[in-house]
Amino acid sequence: MASISAPLKQKRSFWAFLDKPSNALIFALAYIALTLLAVVLIDRRSLWYPLMNMITTPLFLFTPLVVVSLPLGKWLKVGMFVAMLLVVMPIVGIYNPPFLELAIQISIFAGLALGLNIVVGFAGLLDLGYVAFFAVGAYLWGMFTSNADTVFMVNGWTVDGGAFYIFLILGVAAAALVGILLGLPVLRLRGDYLAIVTLGFGEVIRILARNLDAPTNFTNGAQGLSGIGVPPLPGFLIGFTESMASALGLRVDNPDALAKQLLYYLLALGMLFVIMLICSRLKDSPIGRAWTAIREDEVAAIAMGVPLVRMKLLAFASGAAFAGAIGVLYAAKQSFIDPQSFILLQSISILAMIIVGGMGNIKGVLLGAMLITIVELHTLTNLSLQFNALRNANILNIPQQLDPSKYQPLVFGVILVLMMLFRPAGLLPERSRKLELQEMREEDELQHAMEEPLRDNVLADTSTPGEK
């Protein structure tokens, strides 16, 4: 514990120390080595494994962030960043598969959050049914490859895993189309109406998915689609998995399953990278500026000649398109989807990522997605497992009813409320939004000052009763 307070006490010297690039490199390498050691060393069988896992895995996941924020040379930074993502993390993943799973989920949700960020962050249209587009993509792939008795299966209209990459594109198209279809009627609505209508729309898609098993079976209803097709597995991944496993001295029963996870990891990372690129390009393009204009003041935007309908539709369609593509990947990875995977809580958790990170800011949204996904899938579960282990060992008896993994909605709720009250612009705010909120605060104080003296002065009752 002494290590925590030491650097804080010697503040100045520590900063100076880090500012020197060679020292920064040492710090980065030391950080990577320490967290790697921590992740690798903990023993699954120990009593405190869940707690240690809860702490060390996120620390290791943050290594790319640490590398990026250090004052290192540009190419060194990029080199270390890429090496971490493409070499070190897969190897750790082979050693510890749940880590890989978490990394895949983070990439998937980060992609979704970036997509929603276009709609909410860039264009200022609150969409509470975003998960519907995700579902469109997932069901598209699921319906054509699942082994369930759907109309596709019965009539032999199925495709094999090889079509995966074509379906990624089809997923983009289908979700974008649905996005436009939803966008057209609701574009005239104001922010809060839009929110509720999109929420309703999300529910409609879920109810359809749940009930379109009769009279014609499209979605297999509540039974869900299982045995969903997997993309072809490149041989080098299997070779890599096997050689890495033997180098680490691991007994791997099923190298194909691990290699498949590696493939999903690489695919999810690749898609995230593409989405990120598109987003940052869009943001600084005329389209992005048009979105900002709409977000800030619709009337002024129209007056300036921004084609409102087209721009709003574009925002809906591009946000939806990303979700569609990720949906295809998600269905393949899960190999099972059912309507319960696309409930309102999912939409809200994606929204929470944007809000925590900072609406509109791409880096912020990535950070938010990382934090929320870790909390959702890792922290709460491990905390529950830890409580359970302690209960088993008769050390600490926390009632089952207080199991942290059951309170995921509560955690989201608290995060949303606290962020809105104290840091509405997010952890890494977008500059313009920060300024806007600052203005709002100042205006608010002014208003307060004006209202104070009037507060107790109730006007005498003179108006005619019953009049409107």
Partner 1 sequence: MSSVTIDAGPQAPSGLDSFKQTALYRFLIFPLGQMLVFILGATVLLTVFVYGLAVLFPEPRPNIVLVEQLNRQLPGMIISGISIGFVYAMIALGYTLVYGVLKFINFAHSEIFMVGSVIGFSFMSFLNSLGMLAGFNPILLVVSTVLVSAGFSGLLAVGIERVAYKPLRRAPRLVPLITAIGLSFILQDTVRAIASLTINDFNLTYPTRDIAWLQSPLNPLVFNIGGIDVRVRITAIIIMIAAVIMLLILNYFVNGTKAGRGIRAISMDQTTAGLMGIPVNTMISLTFFIGGALGGAAGALYGLNVGTVTPYIGFIPGLKAFTAAVLGGIGNVTGALLGGILLGMIETFLNGTLVYFPAIGIRYTDIFAFGILIAVLIFRPSGLLGERVDEKV
Partner 2 sequence: MKTHKFLALMGSAALAAALSTSLVAAQDNVIRIASQTPLSGGQSVLGVSMSNGVRLAIEQNASVLEDLGFTVEYVPFDDQASPETGVSNAQQIVADASILAVIGHLNSGVAIPSSEVYDENDLVMISPANTNPLVTERGLDTVNRVCGRDDLQGPTGANYAAELGVTSVYVLHDTTAYGQGVAEFFAAEAENLGIAVLGFEGTEEASNFDGIIQPILAQAPELIYFGGIYNQTGVFISQARSAGYEGLFMGPDGFDSSELAAIAGEAVLGTYYTSVAGPASIYPNAAQFIEDYTAAYGEGPQPFAAQSYDATVIAINGIAAAAEAAGGLPSRADVAAAVRATENYEGLTGTITFDDVGDPEIGLYYVIEVASADPAEWSNNSILATLEIPSPAFAASMEMEPEATPGS
**What residue ranges bind partner 2 (CB under 8 A)?**
1, 3-4, 6-8, 14-15, 18, 27, 30-31, 34-35, 37-38, 41-49, 52, 55-56, 59, 62, 66, 69-70, 96-98, 101, 207, 210-211, 221-224, 226-227, 253-254, 257, 334-336, 338, 340-341, 377, 381, 384-385, 388-389, 392, 400-401, 403, 405-406
List the single partner that 392 binds among partner 2, partner 1, none, CB under 5 to 8 Å by kind: partner 2
CB of 153 to partner 1, least distance (A): 21
Nearer to partner 1, 16 or 196 (CB): 196
Pick from 71, 162, 200, 234: which binds partner 1 (CB under 8 A)?
200
Q: What is the DSSP string of 419-442?
A: HHHH-TT-SS--HHHHHHHHHHHH
Residue 409 binding partner 1, by CB under 8 A? yes
Residues 6+ apart with CB under 8 A from 396: 387, 390
Q: Determine how β-strand 225-226 pairs with β-strand 336-337.
A: antiparallel
For residue 226, list its beta bridge partners. 336
What is the number of alpha carbons within 13 Å of residue 328 lying toward its C-beta?
25
Binding mask 429-468 for partner 1 (x = CB under 8 A): -------xx--x--xx--x---x--xxxxxx-x-xxxxxx
Query: Shortest Cβ distance from residue 295 to partner 2 (Å)?
Result: 26
Closest distance of CB 414 from partner 1, Å = 6
Interacting span for partner 1 (CB under 8 A) from 13-21, 238-246, 311-319, 399-407: 399-407
Residues 259-298 binding partner 1 (CB under 8 A) are 297-298
**Does residue number 185 form part of the binding site for partner 1 (CB under 8 A)?**
yes
Q: How far is the CB of 205 from partner 2 (least distance, A)?
A: 14
User: Tokens standing for 456?
Assistant: 């107790």
What is the C-alpha separation between 111 and 61, in angstroms, rounded?
A: 17
* Distance, CA of 365 to CA of 251 (rounded, Å): 38
156 binds, among partner 2, partner 1, none (CB under 5 to 8 A by kind): none
| Residues within window 48-67 making contact with partner 1, judged by CB under 8 A | none
Distances (CA, A) of 171 to 35, 129, 273, 331: 38, 17, 18, 11
Listed in sequence order, the residues at least 6 apart from 272 whose beta carbon sits closer than 8 Å to its beta carbon are 107, 110, 111, 114
* Structural element, H or E, at residue 75: helix 74-83
Instruction: Name the minimum Å distance from CB 409 to partner 1.
Output: 4
Which is nearest to 342 in space by CA: 174, 210, 181? 210
**Residue 372 identity:** I
The set of residues, in sequence order, having a beta carbon less than 8 Å from that of 217 and lying 6+ positions away, is: 149, 150, 151, 154
Binding at 160: pick from partner 1, partner 2, none (beta carbon under 5-8 Å per type): none
Nearer to partner 2, 120 or 385 (CB): 385
Q: Which does 280 bind (CB under 5 to 8 A by kind): partner 2, partner 1, none?
A: none
Which of 25, 40, 389, 416 binds partner 1 (CB under 8 A)? It is 416
Token output for 140 = 């598209």
Task: List Cα–Cα distances, 390 to 45, 55, 341, in angstroms.
Answer: 13, 17, 31
For residue 215, say if its preceding peptide bond is cis, omega within 30 degrees of 0: yes
Which residues form the interface with partner 1 (CB under 8 A)?
Answer: 120, 124, 126, 128, 185-186, 188-193, 195-197, 199-201, 203-204, 207-208, 210-211, 215, 297-299, 348, 351, 355, 399, 401-402, 407, 409-410, 412-417, 420-421, 424, 436-437, 440, 443-444, 447, 451, 454-459, 461, 463-468
